[in-house]
Amino acid sequence: MNKPLPTDIKPVVFINAYFEKTVFNFLFSFVAGAIAALAMPPSPIWGLLLISVPVLYYAVTKAKNRLVAFGSGWVFGFGYFVFSLSWVANALLVEGNPYVWAWPLAACGLPALLAFFPALACLIAKSFMRLNHISGWLGFVAAYALFEWVRGHIFTGFPWNLFGYTWVDSLPMIQVLRLSDVYFLTLLTLIWACAPALMLLQSSAQKISGLLIVTLTLLGTFAYGQAELSGAEQETTPLNIRVVQPNIAQHEKWERGKQYSNFEKHLNLSTQQPLPDEPIIVVWPETAVSYRLLQTAPAQILFRNALASLPVGSSLLTGYLRYDAETGQYFNSLVEFDRMGTIQNIYDKNHLVPFGEYIPFQQWIPLKPVVQFQGFGRGEGIVSLNSLQNKAYSPLVCYEIIFPGRATDTNNPPDFIVNVTNDAWYGDSAGPHQHLAKAVYRAVETGIPVIRSANTGISAIIDPYGRKNQSQSVFTKETINAKMPKIRGQSFIDDWAKNNIFMFLVFAFFSFALIKKHYNTNED
């Protein structure tokens, strides 16, 4: 007669039996990825990462081979991205869009591609690390964080919904961004999220060491944030800001019969409320004005009269659909007008959206809709422009705000960042909230306020600590009036360290994991 298993190991045997079966391994990984999606805005529940990431770690640990580990990472990534980025496909559901048929490709195609990044991280962890050792635990964290960095840079990059964004509603936790960027916070978040996976380690000494790392980094991050916020008054400059959110439905934005009413909506929101006596910067959203509209005499008269009503020294910063007659090229631009309606500055968007504003490898895709798509011209890149109020600003159009380290010209730092966008494409979904989170993080990382105007959802004036004066929600027509926040003082860490701390930790964790794997030191 077989002896019954000791009661203290029955749960472990039961769990192992399921995770060692490939089909269940993949199923648990997919569900874990879907749960992790709930850790992202609009209502980020960071604690869910304490469940989802350890499940992935355990699935990779118990995978029969490297191929199964790769598959576990892929299905986790697919579950994560398909649920956290499902709103991307909403752009194809706008009324009158002839490409509705491509909805499944947009909803599943992008997540399927992005899932290869966690899959490769899991493959490396399984291949080169002792996952039942503290070195493997740190190595797994480093591998996942590194491939998040790769995702944010390769093929123009798409650093959307990095795990570090789970802290957007926690001001103390995001102050650590001032020491580096969201990749560093993502690395820290993975350390904390993997804390339950410490139970896989073979010895109590390793578990204690791991928990010590988790405790010190978590409490240290929170304490640093509290200390930064404790003396941080919401200081402002004398410069007035008015952000306009017109709330124009996407299917009506370019409708010929409504272009003048849409234009008048911008003008009325800019001038109907009482104006200060001092100069003001009015900010309109992405493509609020087109070159064609301003070629008509009625629009020119309305435009100049409205601008002339602003205080002396004021200006308008607006998204502008620009056309270059010499080259026949369209540009998605941000333009500064003075009170006479004269253009003072032009910025052409540089970081274009793949498949939205241009099509990669277009010359090799022999499909009629692809061949006929003209796309936008590309601007020269990051720049600081001088406004009429003697303030330097970094112009960013829509998507450009999502890239850490690429929001400002560090050799000529601006006084503020202006980000114009049109999130009406995505409706009342998670997309506008996630987009706003990127603007919050850029403000804290750079120590420079962000002025954000969205056609609808969500406009905001964000100070360098991430505190927001924002529109009520998507689908609201309103203005935000405030003084320009002051820039933040220098952090105690220099620029070289800020730019390299993430890679230094990744290298250190990888080295530790590889050395332990090579020498197979048994510290259990």
Contact assessment for residue 270 and residue 242, using Cβ atoms and an 8 Å cutoff: yes
pLDDT for 518:
76
Which tokens sit at 451? 């002025």
Q: Residue 97 above 80 pLDDT?
A: no
Q: Is residue 325 part of a domain?
A: yes
194 is catalytic: no
Same domain, residue pair 289 and 337:
yes
Shared domain for 200 and 251, answered yes or no, is: no
256 and 293: one domain?
yes
- Dihedral Cα 93, 439, 393, 277, nearest 10 deg: 90
Domain co-membership, 220 together with 349: no
Mean pLDDT of 44-48: 97
473 shares a domain with 503: no
**Is the same domain home to 213 and 333?**
no
Based on the fold, state whether residues 174 and 286 are members of the same structural domain.
no
Q: What is the pLDDT of residue 174?
A: 98
- pLDDT at residue number 392: 98
Let me know if residue 365 belongs to a domain: yes
Cα separation of 393 and 178, whole Å?
A: 19
Q: Are 221 and 340 members of one domain? A: no
pLDDT in tens, 224-238: 999 999 988 889 999
Give me the chain's average pLDDT, please.
91
Give tens-digit pLDDT for 108-126.
Answer: 999 999 999 999 999 999 9
The band of 13, judged by pLDDT with boundaries at 50, 70 and 90, is low
Query: Is-cis flag, bond preceding 281, omega within 30?
Result: no
Q: What is the mean pLDDT of residues 230-254?
A: 93
- The active-site residue, picked from 62, 253, 398, 400, is 398
CA–CA separation, 335 vs 345, rounded Å? 6
pLDDT band at 524 (very low <50, low <70, confident <90, very high): very low
Side chain identity at 299, as an amino acid letter?
A
Residue 433 lies in a domain: yes
Q: The tokens of 276 are what?
A: 């200060």
Residue 428 confidence class, pLDDT cut points 50, 70, 90: confident
Asked if residue 117 and residue 164 are part of one domain, the reply reads yes
Query: Which of the four pLDDT bands, split at 50, 70 and 90, describes residue 363?
Result: low
Residue 2 lies in a domain: no
Residue 277 DSSP symbol: S
Cβ-proximal residues to 382 (8 Å cutoff; 6+ apart), any chain: 350, 394, 406, 407, 408, 409
Residue 169 has pLDDT above 60, yes or no: yes
Residue 368: which pLDDT band, with cuts at 50, 70 and 90? very low
State both tokens at 13: 């045997």
Q: Are residues 29 and 120 in the same domain?
A: yes
Residue 270: band (very low, low, confident or very high) from pLDDT cuts 50, 70, 90:
very high
Could you give the C-alpha distances from 57 to 15, 25, 34, 60, 124, in angstroms and in order? Answer: 14, 11, 15, 5, 12
Report the share of the chain in percent with pLDDT over 90: 76
Q: Are residues 459 and 515 in the same domain?
A: no
Q: Please give the residue range of the domain that contains residue 170.
A: 10-230+498-519
Q: Could you tell me which of 445, 461, 446, 458 has the C-alpha nearest to residue 42? A: 458
The residue annotated as part of the active site, out of 286, 336, 357, 400, is 286
Residue 474 has pLDDT above 80, yes or no: yes
Q: Which of 14-18, 58-62, 395-399, 401-405 has the lowest mean pLDDT?
A: 14-18
Note the pLDDT of residue 96.
Answer: 73
Q: Quick check: 262 pLDDT over 60?
A: yes
Band of residue 375 on the pLDDT scale cut at 50, 70, 90:
confident
379 residue type, one letter = G
**491 within some domain:** no
List, for residues 304-344, the tens digit of each pLDDT value. Answer: 999 999 999 999 999 999 999 888 899 999 999 999 999 99
* Weakest mean pLDDT among 239-248, 330-339, 354-363, 503-512: 354-363
Q: Are residues 318 and 200 located together in one domain of the fold? A: no
**How high is the pLDDT of residue 364?**
60
- Return the minimum-mean-pLDDT range out of 50-64, 71-85, 243-257: 243-257
Helix (H, G, I), strand (E, B) or coil at 454: strand
| 372 pLDDT higher than 60 | no
524 found inside a domain? no
Residue closest to 348 by CA, chosen among 322, 327, 375: 322
Catalytic: 286? yes
349 in catalytic set: yes
What is the rounded distance in angstroms from the CA atom of residue 477 to the CA atom of residue 474?
9
| pLDDT (0 to 100) of residue 369 | 54
- Please say if the pLDDT value at position 48 is more than 90: yes
Contacts of 80 (CB under 8 A, 6+ apart): 33, 34, 36, 37, 111, 115, 118, 161
Please enumerate in sequence order all residues whose Cβ is within 8 A of that of 7, keeping only pairs 6 or more positions apart, or say none.
Answer: none
Per-residue pLDDT, averaged over 60-69, amounts to: 95
Reported as a pLDDT band with limits 50, 70 and 90, residue 373 is low
pLDDT at 297: 94
CB 468 within 8 A of CB 431: no
Q: What is the pTM of this model?
A: 0.93
**Average pLDDT estimate for 336-356:** 94
Q: So what's the pLDDT on residue 89?
A: 86
Total domain count, the chain: 2
Catalytic choice (349, 486, 498, 516): 349
CATH of the domain at 416: 3.60.110.10
Q: What is the mean pLDDT of residues 237-247?
A: 97
CA distances from residue 243 to 269, 271, 306, 414, 419 in whole angstroms, order as listed: 9, 12, 15, 19, 11
pLDDT of residue 362: 57
Average pLDDT of span 24-49: 97
Q: Confirm whether 1 is domain-assigned.
A: no
401: in domain:
yes
Output 218 or 6, whichever has higher pLDDT. Answer: 218
E strand spans, 219-338: 236-245, 280-283, 289-290, 315-324, 329-337
Structure tokens at 520: 């197979």
**Tokens representing 381?**
């890149």
